[in-house]
Structure 1
Amino acid sequence: MAKAFASQGDMAEKEISFTEIGEGLYAFTAEGDPNSGVIIGDDSVMIIEGQATPRLARKVIECVRSVTDKPITHLVLTHYHAVRVLGASAFQAPQVIMSEKARAMVVERGQEDWDSEFTRFPRLFQGHEEIPGLTWPTTTFNGRMSVYLGQRRVDLMQVGRAHTAGDAVIYVPDQNVMFTGDIVEYKSACYCGDGHFHDWPGTLDNIRKWDLDAIAPGRGDALVGTEMVNAALDSTADFVRSTYAPAAKVALKGGSLKDAWDAVRAECDPKFHDYAIYEHCLPFNVARAYDEARDIDTPRIWTAERDAQMWEALQG
């Protein structure tokens, strides 16, 4: 019997944690499921990441209401992926912000990504009937912008390609804390299916230069203290390099995608097999690494049909 595709069999609910990572700053985490962030300003609240559905977004709102009754006025989306953005309507935020490149990726591949992720990870899309459609920003930026929540300044920045070409980070200077989206993970596999392997380590170096006191990563526990921050930066870089190098070696010698899969497993399984969503991410990571080694700079669009074809090829 064929192995179940990706995370179709993962239906167990995850335990939620809501961790203060600075004054008025919180990380919403759930055992390797997509994280969200909360920034409480003088008179309003900014949310980082919209979750996959309004049902999941309401869990974030419940945590927010446990610490403040200030209105949610801003929702920032670090990139375009469905599991990050399709719950946005629940927040009813007047301002929804993405980078210009992230919005362009919604135009180019947003519906395909939704269809693909829905098939890959059914648990995250329970309650999908409430999703009103693709999530569109009301505001975009290129490079950098600042938002003021009263006197509290929040800097939105693009510091390099990594998880996608449109990644943004959110920095709160009065606490030296950053929300990195999926550029940084902690004890969770990086999803590299839309990634840029050559750029990703340098982007992590750019984040490291801030000498941060805390990070809310894309998945995994909140990172509080420089030791934990640097450990996560190191392990994320190791994951990216360990995935790309063996796949590239196979691709450049003319080997098959299945050969690359075997080579990456030999390198990564001993180090990362117990990371959250490792098995889920691996086929997409290998396929993207194989393509990038062959000079395909723009990740090919994942569709539900392409997912199935790739999975069949790797299981053969």
Structure 2
Amino acid sequence: MAKAFASAGDMEEKKISFTQVGEGLYAFTAEGDPNTGVIIGDDSVMIVEAQATPRLARMVIEKVREVTDKPISHLVLTHYHAVRVLGASAYGAREIIMSDVAAAMVEERGQEDWDSEFDRFPRLFQGHEEIPGLTRPTTTFSDSMTVYLGKRRVDIMKLGRAHTAGDAVVWVPNQEVMFTGDIVEYHSACYCGDGHFNDWEETLQNIAAFEPKSIAPGRGDALLGEEMVAKALESTADFVRSTYQPIAKVVARGGTMKEAWDACRAACDPKFSDYAIYEHCLPFNVARAYDEARGIDTPRVWTAERDKEMWNAFQG
């Protein structure tokens, strides 16, 4: 009998934290589950990341209503993954913003990603019957755009490929706070199955160049203060390097995917085995790193069938 995905048995609800990361800025976090950012402007609220379902989105809204009664006008989605975008309908935002690349990826592989993630993370998709369909943006941008929530300026931009080809970050300049999506994680494994290993570290350096005072990462605790920010940026870079470099060496000598798996585990297990979703991410990360090291620049589309074939091959 095939072994279930590592996250399939994780059905315990996570403890939610709602942490202030700047004046009128909050990070909704849940012990390694996907995070959501909240930006309160003069007249309305911007949400960063929608959550996987309307049910989970309502948990975010409940926290928002503890600090403001202003309407939610904008929703920014940093990339296309189902666990980030399919709760969008709950917010009733008049604008849903994505990068042009992320929007194209919704059309190219959004349904396949939804189908595959549904099996990978059953707990996150409880209440999935409410999802009206794929989440598509009302507004896209190529490089950057600025939104004013009254007098509050919010800059949304692409700083490079990393977690996906379409990653965006959200920068609030008057507080020097950034919402990074899954480009940055804290004590949580990076999911690299749709990533770009050779670009990721430069993108992290581009984030560091802003000298953020705080960061709301994609997963894990809010990063408060420059010391914690620097620590998370380096640990994320270390995770990406430690995953890719041993696999690239295996590929260079003509080694197999199973040899790449063993090499990656030898490098990463001692440092990262206690990170959230580590075992879940590992096979997807190895498969993508193996492809990238062989010169495949565009990540192959994950489908429910490919997920299972890859998972079973590694378990064997």
TM-score by length of 1: 0.99
* Structural mapping, 1:143-158, within 5 Å: 143-158=143-158
Q: Which residue in 2 is equivalent to 1:17?
A: 17
Q: Aligned partners of 1:4, 1:41: CA distance in 2, in Å? A: 44
- Does the alignment pair 1:167 with 2:167? yes
Q: Which residue in 2 is equivalent to 1:141?
A: 141
Aligned-residue Cα RMSD (Å) equals 0.6
- Over the matched positions of the two proteins, sequence identity in percent amounts to 78
* Structural mapping, 1:48-63, within 5 Å: 48-63=48-63
- Does the alignment pair 1:39 with 2:39? yes
Q: Aligned partners of 1:213, 1:10: CA distance in 2, in Å? A: 33
On the 8 A contact 2:22/2:177 being kept in 1, the answer is yes
* Structural mapping, 1:61-76, within 5 Å: 61-76=61-76
Q: Aligned partners of 1:114, 1:6: CA distance in 2, in Å? A: 17
> Secondary structure of 1:199's partner?
helix
Q: Which residue in 2 is equivalent to 1:314?
A: 314
Q: Aligned partners of 2:4, 2:109: CA distance in 1, in Å? A: 25
Task: Tell me the CA shift for residue 117 of structure 1.
Answer: 0.2
- Does the alignment pair 1:290 with 2:282? no
> Secondary structure of 1:36's partner?
strand
> Secondary structure of 2:250's partner?
helix
Q: Which residue in 1 is equivalent to 2:202?
A: 202
Q: Which residue in 2 is equivalent to 1:111?
A: 111
> Secondary structure of 1:69's partner?
coil
Task: Tell me the CA shift for residue 310 of structure 1.
Answer: 0.4
Task: Tell me the CA shift for residue 4 of structure 1.
Answer: 2.1
Q: Aligned partners of 1:196, 1:232: CA distance in 2, in Å? A: 19
Task: Tell me the CA shift for residue 6 of structure 1.
Answer: 2.8
Q: Aligned partners of 2:176, 2:279: CA distance in 1, in Å? A: 34
Q: Aligned partners of 1:4, 1:312: CA distance in 2, in Å? A: 9
Q: Which residue in 1 is equivalent to 2:257?
A: 257
Task: Tell me the CA shift for residue 258 of structure 1.
Answer: 1.0
Task: Tell me the CA shift for residue 292 of structure 1.
Answer: 0.1
Task: Tell me the CA shift for residue 173 of structure 1.
Answer: 0.2
> Secondary structure of 1:42's partner?
coil
| Structure 1 runs, 4 residues or longer, greater than 4 Å off | none
Task: Tell me the CA shift for residue 254 of structure 1.
Answer: 1.4
Q: Aligned partners of 1:60, 1:285: CA distance in 2, in Å? A: 29
Letter paired with 1:105: M
Q: Which residue in 1 is equivalent to 2:218?
A: 218
Q: Which residue in 1 is equivalent to 2:235?
A: 235
Deviations 1:115-161 (A, max 9, x none): 00001110000000000000000000010000000000000010000
Q: Which residue in 2 is equivalent to 1:268?
A: 268
Task: Tell me the CA shift for residue 2 of structure 1.
Answer: 4.5
* Structural mapping, 1:121-132, within 5 Å: 121-132=121-132
On the 8 A contact 2:39/2:47 being kept in 1, the answer is yes
Q: Aligned partners of 1:257, 1:203: CA distance in 2, in Å? A: 27
| Contiguous gaps of at least 5 residues in structure 1 | none
Task: Tell me the CA shift for residue 3 of structure 1.
Answer: 3.2
Q: Which residue in 2 is equivalent to 1:94?
A: 94
> Secondary structure of 1:184's partner?
strand
Deviations 1:221-242 (A, max 9, x none): 0001000000000000000000
Task: Tell me the CA shift for residue 251 of structure 1.
Answer: 1.5
Letter paired with 1:152: R
TM-score by length of 2: 0.99
Letter paired with 2:67: V
On the 8 A contact 2:3/2:312 being kept in 1, the answer is no
Q: Aligned partners of 1:208, 1:234: CA distance in 2, in Å? A: 10
Letter paired with 1:270: P
Letter paired with 1:279: E
| Contiguous gaps of at least 5 residues in structure 2 | none
> Secondary structure of 1:145's partner?
strand
